[in-house]
Amino acid sequence: MKVSVDEDKCCGAGSCVLAAPDVFDQRDEDGVVVLLDPEPAEHLHAAVREAADVCPAAAILLGDRA
């Protein structure tokens, strides 16, 4: 799984951090998403998919590339 984020689209809701705190964080100064791990381990995939699904701004993109 390959994860990318679109900082311009990000609305800082923080739902990704709640769903997958090992993969996503937010910048302290404005709440914009920080991608901690663009290629998360398998046991995190379900949480990352949830984060992408619930992102209100559709700012998280998932690819299959290993």
Partner 1 sequence: MALGDTDHVLDYPIPSPAALEPPAEWAELRQGCPVAHVRLPSGDRASLLTRYDDVKQVLSDPRFTRNLDAPDAARISANESGGVFNSGLGNALPEEYHQQWRRMVGKWFTAKRMTALRPGIEAMAERLIDEMVADGAPADLKSALGFPLPVWVICDMLGVPESDRDKFAYWSNTLLSLTRYTQAEIDAAQAEFAAYMSAHIAATRADPGDDLISELIAAAVDAGHVMPDEALLATSQGLLVAGHETTANMIGKMVGMLLADRTRWEALLADPTLVRTAVEEALRADANPGFGIPRYITEDAEVGGAVIPRGTTVVCNLAAANRDEHAFADADGLDLARTPNAHLAFGAGAHSCLGQSLARTELQAVLDVLLRRLPTLELAVPATGLARVDGLVVGGLQELPVRW
Interface with partner 1 includes 28 (CB under 8 A)? yes
Site for partner 1 in 30-59 (CB under 8 A): 30-32, 49-50, 53-54, 56-58
- Residues listed for the chain: 66
Based on CB atoms, which residue is closest to partner 1, 41 or 46? Answer: 46
CA 55 – CA 66 distance, rounded (Å):
22
> Using CB under 8 A, which of 4, 21, 41, 63 touches partner 1?
21
What number of CA atoms fall less than 13 Å from residue 64's CA on the CB side?
Answer: 0
Question: How far apart (Å, rounded) are the C-alpha atoms in residues 5 and 59?
Answer: 6
- Residue ranges binding partner 1 (CB under 8 A): 9, 11-15, 17-19, 21, 25-32, 49-50, 53-54, 56-58
